[in-house]
Amino acid sequence: MRFIGPSPDVMARMGDKVEARKAAIEAGVRVVPGTDRPITDAKDAKEFVATHGLPVIFKAAYGGGGRGMRVVRNEKELVENFERASSEALSAFGNGAMFIERFIEHPRHIEVQILGDNYGNVVHLYERDCTVQRRHQKIIEIAPSPNLNPVVREKILADAVKLARHVGYQNAGTVEFLLDADGTYYFIEVNARLQVEHTVTEEITGVDLVQKQIRVSEGNSLPNLGLEQKNIKVEGTAIQCRVTTEDPAKGFQPDTGRIETPLNGQVFRSGEGFGIRLDGASAFAGAIISPYYDSLLVKVIAHASSIGSAAAKMNRALREFRVRGVKTNIPFLLNVLENDKFLKTAYDTNFIDTHPELFKFEPSQNRAQKLLYYLANLMVNGPSTVLATKLKPSDIVPAVPPVDKTRGHTVPKGWKHILDNEGPEAFAKAVRNHKGLLLMDTTYRDAHQSLLATRVRTYDLLRISEHVSNHFHPLFSLENWGGATFDVSMRFLHEDPWERLVEMRRLVPNIPFQMLLRGANAVGYTSYPDNVVFKFCELAKQAGMDVFRVFDSLNYLPNILVGMEAAGQAGGVVEGAISYTGDVSDPKRTKYNLDYYVNLSDKLVSAGTHVLCIKDMAGLLKPRAATMLVEALRSRHPDVPIHIHTHDTAGAGVASMLRCAEAGADIVDVAVDSMSGMFLYGRLTGLHFVAHTGHDVGRGPYEAHVVVNDSTREVRPLRQEPIARVYGVHVGLLGDAYDVRYV
């Protein structure tokens, strides 16, 4: 391993401000009057002031970046500022020793980029102007320094090279000077490293400093790298602005948060174009800006033929930035770039402190974001009227299906009776031994999740629940919970999803309830600790849940197994699900082939799943592929019930389900006709084509379906408008059961 940088001896000497000062004096470079050693006692500070007078500046002896710095103009503030600066240095650098020097009023801050090799060669790559500072922290850097007297420039550059040669400097570094109003310059320190602002030097010289550092460390000489002083030229002007997550309206208070996408009301977009370079840190959508690291978001570098052109490019680029979710200093940077004194380079290190107008900001109109919010609201909640009309929308009161209220009437027994009395294993065995095809009705959850963004209210679902209990009792299960239910219930419908489950259980005591569990994610959108998933399943079972369909969108087995174990320990029916993708009927598609699904099914069955599910959430399962897949699974696991879930995206959903039934599937997913078709499910009525084939679903679900379909037809327009607009579905295109008759 090879260290890239100066030798340890040079690092130790140049990294210590006192030692660097001694080296400058030895080399004949003018220095500001200061202490000849680090001091740790305020008494030494008093003695220095007594000799050299005020003002003075305290600097951290073993660090930089503006931390541990204080300017003292009043002797009464001397001790207090020394102690504060020392404490800050100790916290930042682990050493509270201070260096004191006479403070130069109203200077410009000029620094020279140097590069040395292992053979005594040293070159400069010209200077940078770092005068625009706040609290000794550079904000805007310019290369080369504008309006710098050419004679002074040559002297500064020569002294920087002289000092570097004197100490035997190797690799990249920066020699820093203060330039007073009379043209007198003073050495202040050496940064024995590559600095944040090296980018502007790279732009004007065309030299990749990072690459050259590596090449020098490999043993190359500067002449071999083409770096001789006569060959290094300046082309144009470059400006760098540091975009930080600080709020200039609140004293540059660091801001924290997440930069997200427009979907979450936040966004990141950078300004780019010819002559613009971006050196990014955490500048991307989704980045978390924490309080534990530097607030720098991105460095923006503009390169042009003159400082005016470079400033104009920078202005344009910064205005194109869009950062939502956290505050930035961009409004402040724009004020600086548009200030006349900045453009005329008539400034010093007090520029920001003496120009309060830089902190006057126009409130952001945020038009684009407001438009996004409006469109998002329109998509989710729909317009206030369907079309531009003064007519009031007609009131729709969905009809409530009739229910037998006669004394002594009890709901028919369903599969719930077997589950409650004999347990999950016996329940699964009974399902497997059942002659005929069983159905799971998704109307209560996934149907309106896919069609209406899960916006059907508990109120609407409960109104038809008693009828469902009386007439849909042959169903394998009702899917009514999990998935997006929790998120939408709480954030949009302002309902309690637990109350929904309890009330449904009260009205539907005879049909098993089924939910979708996202493995380790439970019903959320992030992974949860295992104990949370286990407790959730326990409470869900107590509230009335029966069948837990457990899946992971990437078929990541550890996530699935956590959910399966949690559901099993809670006493529920475990339905391990395999997410389907690819096409098992296409021999050219070898990644997700039959072997993949069969091998994964082996692991789920070995883990104790009661029911094996194929979850085709994108509607990719073609009829031929359905036959091949189910036959393979049935042959491999003859005693395990197989449950198939698909969507009718391509219009082949019913055909695929019929093929699944013929191949040996025990259960398929459907929805009432008014909530089916297209990106939804196969129609419940479509499955009646298996009548008299040995896979009969029975008359009950069909006869009851016509009544429930009428009710859901009337509920759907209340919730469908926004989703219809999203998917381009005609508002009036509703399912109709009356053209299908049971034979």
Q: Give 307-316 pLDDT, tens digit per residue.
A: 999 999 999 9
Residues 329, 451 within the same domain: no
State the distance between the two ends of the chain, measured CA to CA, in whole angstroms: 82
> What is the amino acid identity at position 532?
V
Query: pLDDT tens, 639-666?
Result: 999 999 998 877 788 888 889 999 999 9
Residues 355, 477 within the same domain: no
State the pLDDT at residue 704.
Answer: 46
Residues 542, 681 within the same domain: yes
Q: Is the preceding omega at residue 33 within 30 degrees of 0, hence cis? A: no
Looking at the predicted structure, is the pLDDT value of residue 198 above 90? Answer: yes
Residues 496, 621 within the same domain: yes
Range with lowest mean pLDDT among 216-225, 349-358, 623-632: 349-358
Q: How confident is the model at residue 596 (pLDDT cuts 50, 70, 90)?
A: very high
Domain end call among 370, 405, 425 = 370
Say if strands 98-102 and 108-116 run parallel, antiparallel, or are unpaired.
unpaired
535: left (phi over 0), alpha (psi -120 to 50) or beta: alpha
Residues 350, 444 within the same domain: no
Structural tokens at position 484? 């997006």
Nearest to 125 by CA among 55, 178, 236, 204: 204
Looking at the predicted structure, is the pLDDT value of residue 728 above 90? Answer: no
Tell me how far apart the alpha carbons of residues 557 and 552 are, in angstroms, rounded to a whole number: 8
Tell me how far apart the alpha carbons of residues 222 and 565 are, in angstroms, rounded to a whole number: 66
Q: What is the mean pLDDT of residues 490-504?
A: 93
Range with lowest mean pLDDT among 158-172, 308-322, 460-474: 460-474
Tell me how far apart the alpha carbons of residues 145 and 125 are, in angstroms, rounded to a whole number: 12
Say if strands 108-116 and 171-179 run parallel, antiparallel, or are unpaired.
antiparallel
Looking at the predicted structure, is the pLDDT value of residue 474 above 50? Answer: yes
Q: What is the mean pLDDT of residues 50-68?
A: 86
Residues 614, 510 within the same domain: yes
What CATH code is carried by the domain that includes residue 527?
Answer: 3.20.20.70
Tell me how far apart the alpha carbons of residues 24 and 14 are, in angstroms, rounded to a whole number: 10
Residues 560, 449 within the same domain: yes
Residues 358, 501 within the same domain: no
| Distances, alpha carbon 137 to alpha carbons 52, 351, 512, in Å | 26, 13, 66
Range with lowest mean pLDDT among 207-216, 291-300, 575-584, 588-597: 291-300
Look at residue 458 and tell me if it is in a domain.
yes
Residues 547, 628 within the same domain: yes
On average, the pLDDT of the chain sits at 86
Look at residue 25 and tell me if it is in a domain.
no
Query: How buried is 718 (Cβ within 10 angstroms: 0-12 exposed, 13-18 middle, 19+ buried)?
Result: middle
- The dihedral over CA atoms of 166, 167, 173, 175, expressed in degrees to the nearest 10, equals -50
CB 227 within 8 A of CB 123: yes
Q: What is the mean pLDDT of residues 604-610?
A: 97
Domain end call among 348, 370, 392 = 370
70 is catalytic: no
- What SS3 state is found at 159? helix
Say what percent of the chain tops pLDDT 90: 59
Query: pLDDT tens, 680-711?
Result: 555 555 555 555 555 555 544 444 444 445 54
Look at residue 99 and tell me if it is in a domain.
no
Looking at the predicted structure, is the pLDDT value of residue 718 above 50? Answer: no
What CATH code is carried by the domain that includes residue 332?
Answer: 3.30.470.20
Residues 338, 482 within the same domain: no
Please give the tally of structural domains in the chain. 2
Structural tokens at position 610? 């009661």
State the pLDDT at residue 375.
Answer: 82
The residue ranking higher by pLDDT, 344 or 398, is 344
| Catalytic annotation, pick one of 70, 102, 128, 193 | 193
Nearest to 205 by CA among 121, 280, 115: 115
State the pLDDT at residue 385.
Answer: 58
Prediction pTM value: 0.55
Residues 363, 244 within the same domain: yes
Look at residue 401 and tell me if it is in a domain.
no
Residues 243, 349 within the same domain: yes
The residue ranking higher by pLDDT, 64 or 187, is 187
Looking at the predicted structure, is the pLDDT value of residue 392 above 50? Answer: yes
- What SS3 state is found at 322? strand
State the pLDDT at residue 79.
Answer: 92
State the pLDDT at residue 62.
Answer: 86
CB 172 within 8 A of CB 190: no
What is the Cα gyration radius of the chain? 37
Look at residue 660 and tell me if it is in a domain.
yes
Q: Give the CA count within 13 Å in the CB-facing half-sphere of 577.
A: 27
State the pLDDT at residue 729.
Answer: 38
Q: Which residues pair with 573 in a beta bridge?
A: 547
Structural tokens at position 699? 């008359």
Looking at the predicted structure, is the pLDDT value of residue 500 above 50? Answer: yes
State the pLDDT at residue 719.
Answer: 46
> What is the amino acid identity at position 555?
N
Domain that holds residue 318: 237-370
Looking at the predicted structure, is the pLDDT value of residue 595 above 70? Answer: yes
Look at residue 183 and tell me if it is in a domain.
no
State the pLDDT at residue 734.
Answer: 41
Tell me how far apart the alpha carbons of residues 171 and 214 are, in angstroms, rounded to a whole number: 9
Look at residue 79 and tell me if it is in a domain.
no
The residue ranking higher by pLDDT, 152 or 739, is 152
State the pLDDT at residue 689.
Answer: 52
Look at residue 597 and tell me if it is in a domain.
no
Say what percent of the chain tops pLDDT 70: 87
